[in-house]
Structures are given as C-alpha cells and as structure tokens.
Amino acid sequence: MIDLLRLVRPNNLLLAAAGVLAGGWIALGTLQVPNVLGLAAVSAVGFGTAGYVLNDIWDRAADRVNRPGGERPLAAGRVMRGTADLCVAGGALLGLGAAALVNGTAVLVGLVALAVLVAYSPVLKRRGALGNVAVAVLAGLPLMYGAIAVGRPAAGILPWTLAAWIHLVREIVKDIDDQAGDRVLGRRTLPLVLGPRRASVVAAALAAAFVPLSLALPTAAHYHAAYFVIAVFAQLVVLAVASRLFTGHTQGNSRLLKGAMLVGIAALVAGRVA
C-alpha cells in the first residue's frame, strides 16, 4: 500500500486539488465550494494520478539512475507494470467522469491535458524547452480549471500564468538534477543541450523575471493589498533560488520553489477574497 501511494504521489494530488479550489475561490471572490468546484478538484486528482503513474512507466530506466535509493517503486520493481496500467486507466476515467459532471469545457480541457500527459515523456520531454513549457502549462492548469468549473474562466488566466511561469523554472531545475537518467534515455533536455551552467542561468533569469511579473499582473487586475503582503515571502524565495542558480548551487532549489508556489497560491486567494 505504501508503494502504491508513492506511485500516485498523494501530496502532489492534494496540491492539484487545492489548486483547483483556489482557482474557483479566486474566480468567485469567496471561499464557497459549489458542487462543480468539488467535482473539478476530484477530476484533477484523477488526471494527476494518470499523469504521475504514466510518467513513472516511461521513466523506469531513468529513475534507476537518478533515484537509485528506490524511491520510485515501479523502477525498483516493488509495483507491477499491470498495477501501474490500472492506475493510469482508473485515473483517466475518474478525471473524465468527474469533468463530465462539471461542464463541457472541463471535459475538453481534460482531454487536451490527458493527450499532453500521454505525449510528454516519450515525445515532448525529448524536445528540450518544449517539454518544459508543456508540463509547466499543465502544472499551472488547476487554477484555471477551478475558474472554468465555476463559469468564470477569464479570472483564471492571471493565476494560471503566474503558476505556469514558476513551474517552468522548476522543471528546468529538475532537469538539471536528472541529467544522468535523461542521458540514458537519449533525451535532449535543456541542460543536456546547453550544458548545466547555461541551463542554470536560463532558469535563474526566468526566476528573476517572475518577481516583477508577479507584481505587475495583480496590480493591473486590482488584487487586494493582502496579495502583496503574502506574496512577498514567495518572491523572496524565488529571488533566493535565482541567486543560487546564478552562483551554481543547484541542489534543493526544487523544494524551495514548491514552497514558494504554496505561498503564492495563498496570496492569490487572499488577494481576491480578503
């Protein structure tokens, strides 16, 4: 059971569900949870399950190199391939089924997301920056998905943009850490194409650019002062990561960015409902 939970990444699934709820709250301007928003959160958990397990299926060889400690149960042989396939199918069915109870747009977005998830590891990840952009767009999608669920998709554009931007930085950072395994699979990730030093500079530049963007867009959208008070903590972390990347410190940046994302989501909600 523990290995099965590790396979589906429950912490990340909870984060995806929280992102959907946050997107709905931002769009509504209140902390209500209508049925369609709850169903959208369930849908995101389903799609997330399918995506994470599918990624582990494709990445078994790379994970044996990048994570020799056995933290990926499929690569370590502690979970059977058939079980993983069932998780993918079950997650996809849950995602689409719940989306169908939300609205037609949610179903369409879910189908597109599922197609990108299927293509990511075998196709998009081999295309360097294209793969990074694709997964960043998907990773930021829960905030937009929540806005779509409550019928106010325009309100989800700003949160989606900021989330996708910071996810893009994190994806490049993760690729820097995963060079050995990606080389085994013949992938052309940014660090393998440009070299780890240049890829770090690209990630640092994107991280530094995030800070003015995260100030300008909410200002233009008339977010409340609470956003700017809370967001400053996330912005400081992002700037610290940019500094670390510029100076060649690559370890631990992914976790720092994940923490910044959580604070950022809280700031976005506070900026609309406070």
% of the chain surpassing 90 pLDDT: 61
State the average pLDDT over residues 80-105. 92
pLDDT band at 68 (very low <50, low <70, confident <90, very high): low
State the average pLDDT over residues 28-53. 95
**The model's pTM:** 0.90
State the average pLDDT over residues 131-136. 86
Q: Over the chain, what is the mean pLDDT?
A: 89
Scanning the chain, the segments in alpha helix (DSSP H) are 2-8, 10-28, 35-58, 60-66, 73-76, 81-100, 104-120, 129-139, 141-149, 157-177, 179-184, 190-194, 196-220, 225-246, 253-273
Reply yes or no on whether the pLDDT at 71 is more than 90: no
State the average pLDDT over residues 31-51. 95
**pLDDT (0 to 100) of residue 69:** 61
**pLDDT (0 to 100) of residue 100:** 97
**pLDDT (0 to 100) of residue 50:** 92
> Which is more confidently placed, 202 or 62?
202
Pick from 46-55, 77-86, 90-99, 263-272: least confident: 77-86
**pLDDT (0 to 100) of residue 40:** 97
Residue among 250, 4, 22 nearest 143 (CA): 22
State the average pLDDT over residues 100-117. 94
> Which is more confidently placed, 142 or 59?
142
* Count of all residues that appear for the chain in the document: 274
State the average pLDDT over residues 102-123. 89
Kindly give, in sequence order, each residue whose CB lies less than 8 Å from that of residue 225, ignoring residues fewer than 6 positions away.
Answer: 274
**pLDDT (0 to 100) of residue 70:** 62
% of the chain surpassing 70 pLDDT: 94
The CA distance from 113 to 148, in Å, is 14
187-208: per-residue pLDDT in tens?
Answer: 777 888 888 899 999 999 999 9
